[in-house]
A and B are shown apart, each in its own frame.
Chain A
Amino acid sequence: MSDSATPPGGVLPPSLAANPILQNWLDFSVDGVVTIRSGKVEYGQGVWTALAQIAAEELDVPLARIRVAQVSTSSSPDEGVTSGSRSIEDSGGALRQACAQARGAFLAVAAAKLGADVTAMSVQDGAIRTPAGGTGLTYWSLRAPGLLDQPAAPSVPAKPPGQWSVAGRSAPRIDLPDKATGRPRFLHDRVLPGMLFGRVIRPPAPVATLDALDDVELPPGVVARVRDGSFLAVIADSDRVAVAATTRLARAARWTVQESLPDERDLKGFLLSQPEQVQPVVQRADDAAAARVTVTRQAEYTRPFIAHASMAPSCAIARWDGGTVTVWTHSQGVFALRGALALGLGLDPEQVIVHHVEGAGVYGHNAADDAALDAVLLARQVPGRPVRVLWSREDELAWGPLGSAMLARLSAGLDAAGRIQTWRQDVWSNGFIGRPGTGGEPRLLALTHVAGGTPMTPAPDGPPTGAMGATRNAVPGYDIPDLAVTRHRLLAMPIRTSSLRSLGAFLNVFAIESFMDELAEVAGADPVEFRLAHLTDPRARRVIEEAAGFSGWAVRPRDEGVGFGLGFARYKGLSGYCAAVAEVAADTGISLRRLWLAVDVGRVINPDGVLNQVEGGAIQSASWALRERVRFDRTRITSVTWDSYPILRFTEVPEVFVRIVAAPGERETGAGELAQGPVAAAIGNAVSDAVGVRVRDLPLTTEQVARTIEQS
């Protein structure tokens, strides 16, 4: 069984061990259709297509027979939050086992019925066959109550990947036809009978108190005005009326506003001046190595606060029926949201039902959960009526959780031969794990505004490892004998932070890979050769060699004003591998021309899905690295439109080439976050190569590069 996709040692995948009953994962109740239930939600990453492929493969049915059920607290296995690039590994692993066992259960029933040898039976398009041919039996003719009411058994082998015919091949996304034709598919499109429309008037600053509300005439169609402490909202019979009422209420509201934000021009000063929790991540002293050091270098790298900036503002619908509230949300974690809502409102979790409906792209913990609470609070005013809440673009950019500003301070010592002997990395950041319910706190925005509400405590950051939080990828993947990595988590949070794609890996990889180029220069080595000299992991070497090879690294032109750079990381230090090469041009401004990426994600379920995720991650990372910076004054976030928070546009995106380095014998890993760090690093190194000056503070805007050149 060594070549089976079943994990070795007969251990159930964790998601399946936690939710072991097969019928919770798949359902044959509709003729000719297999409905699979995952706890992982679709938000544009294509995970439902890949999960459907896995199920189709194990069940020997075509992909077209698979339906993926909407994730819901009332019917789905609890697989936690859809995050961390773990869906294929977690949910895919569970579904694979569950489907393999279900297939076996059906075959056993068929064998008993026919008096046939079960080991000689097979399934084709859901129909059960013996060596003599068809049996007239199918999954659907054999379905019986209780058949799949059995716990998963670790001993059932899944198919060896060598026999795959559906998984492992590119499959078109099952959601795209709806999206290309404008069919209602998003939560934003959903209209429930009797639905009302809510809008919230947010305070003018993170620290603000609603003192008074002047008398104001609200337009016809307003159903209720809601005020609870500093939480102010309106419910109307149409969104149009709700928006109009919002404008009038905003003018009538009298707030006391306090300055509470740091100096945007001195993020480093802010990060270094806050109370902090200091935690060692890695401490590996090697005195002999330290004694070999002949030259040392130190450098600091920063990133600003970064916004999710999803294309759709957050939306939610809620309806109270007696003591129960039903919520429709595009949250990443319906179970976590249910728990947080119950905690925040003093309800039993059984009183809260949360259904997931697709929204726009999700890149971490955004405002979806906050919108859900808004809808719940407003729906409580109109029992029996669903209330939809839609955030404004401005609120989405100002009030959604952000990815924290960060500082990474690195130092390293080289020996006389140019080998790295020592490495220190200290990382300052607000926490990345501010999700609903984390640390026993609801962490939902409106709870900080309602009467008696309290500010959120600073976001936690997870265990201090190189896989988690601000220190994700803070442990270099290179062979370094003397190593110390330390996390400094801020214990004050003037700007709300939480999980954003790749967490700390974006800055840590930018920092490490920039520093590697700086050290290579000290050593007089080519950046690629310098990395390979410090890498023994063959998979790491392969992606670097592949990216260098197909980008033409060795023969890259050395033209004036054009630069090439490489960046590499193994995501979290334990997941997929990615190496990126960037080409930038520096003339009147900095422009990114081309990116080449090589990735190793182990066994691949949907190759085109991986490519799409890596390409998209690369472009988003380029946007962060080149453009993005949350702006604020001492009172409030000011980058609240696409003008003040620009992202990379069509005329600015580079050409992107991606290759998957085959590793069919390795376990599958996620692909969605692989590119974030390496691409930023590659761009940074290419900029340095082009302009001859190292720019260590993101974003690498033309102004920032020019400033660095002036200061050098």
Chain B
Amino acid sequence: MKQDIHVTVNGAAQTITCEPDSPFLDVLRHDLGLSGPRFGCGIGLCGACFVLIDGQARSSCDLPAWAAEGKDVTTVEGLLDGDTMHAVQRAVIEEQAAQCGYCTSGMIVSAVALLRGNAAPTEDEVRSALDGNLCRCGAHRRIIRAVLRAASGGGPEAASIPAAGGRGVTAGSPTGRIPG
């Protein structure tokens, strides 16, 4: 039996008529035409479908539509301010922090949630915050750098880990702890 679900998505109030147990990810993609949240596993294990729900990053593939009733939802598209990207989105491009980019939306959402609660995270805090987001291409290091860059306002002091290889020939350098 279909029912109406009332939800605010990217600032706009929406009423969606659907089976209440429909995956909320499918509502976002199919009913609302948003392509940012992506299907990866369907059981909340990979993070590709992460969205902000009342400010918290969580999977939308294993969230039934009824559970989104009355919630405030932000997808990666909703992080844009007009044509202006969110600092995390900009940092992802500045650090060239992706390969295939399929996991990128979910990564950005997790990072934004982290930075809203912790404006200056350590690298370990970034890693922990992103641990629910899988990346198969191995862009992890760049994504960590991007989040740290966004946290610091994009300045050169962004990285407590080595600076990006975005413009140079050497990615990272063992400036930290060369053995011995």
Contact = CB atoms under 8 A, between A and B. Distances in A.
A and B bound? yes
Contact of B162 (A552, A651, A657): A657
Interface residues of B, number: 72
A510 B80 CA distance: 46
A219 to B, nearest CB: 9
A186 B102 CA distance: 8
Interface string A354-376: 00001111110000000000000
A409 interface: no
Contacts of B35: 182-186, 189
Interface in A291-324: 309-313
B131 A238 contact: no
B113 interface: no
Contacts of A179: 98, 101-102, 104-105
A191 B35 CA distance: 10
Contacts of B141: 615, 619, 653, 655-656
Contact of A615 (B26, B80, B171): B171
A312 B172 contact: no
Contact of A45 (B38, B99, B108): B99
A615 B139 CA distance: 7
Interface string B27-51: 0001001111111111101101000
B139 A616 contact: yes
Contact of B92 (A170, A180, A653): A180
B100 A642 contact: no
Residue with the greatest number of chain A CB neighbours at <10 A, chosen from B80, B133, B134: B134
B100 A43 contact: yes
B128 interface: yes
**Interface size classification for chain A:** 35 or more
Contacts of A518: none
Given A181-B36, A312-B48, A361 B99 contact: yes
Interface stretch (A68-76, A143-151, A202-210, A605-613): A605-613
Contact of B39 (A182, A313, A556, A653): A313
Contacts of A658: 165, 170-172
Given A360-B136, A552-B174, A612-B142, A238 B180 contact: no
Interface string A629-645: 00000000000011100
A557 B137 contact: no
A655 B161 contact: yes
A642 B170 contact: no
Interface string B79-110: 11000010001001100101111111100100
Nearest to B90: A180
A447 B39 CA distance: 27
B26 A656 contact: no
B178 A616 contact: no
A231 interface: no
B140 interface: yes
A596 to B, nearest CB: 7
Closest 9 CB pairs of A and B: A182-B36, A44-B100, A179-B101, A619-B138, A555-B180, A616-B138, A361-B100, A360-B102, A182-B76
Interface of A: 43-46, 170, 172-173, 175-186, 188-189, 191, 238-240, 309-313, 358-363, 390, 392-393, 550-552, 555-557, 564, 583, 594, 596, 607-608, 611-620, 623, 641-643, 647, 649-651, 653, 655-660, 662
11 contacts: A170-B166, A179-B104, A182-B34, A188-B38, A240-B22, A361-B137, A612-B165, A613-B99, A619-B138, A642-B134, A649-B134
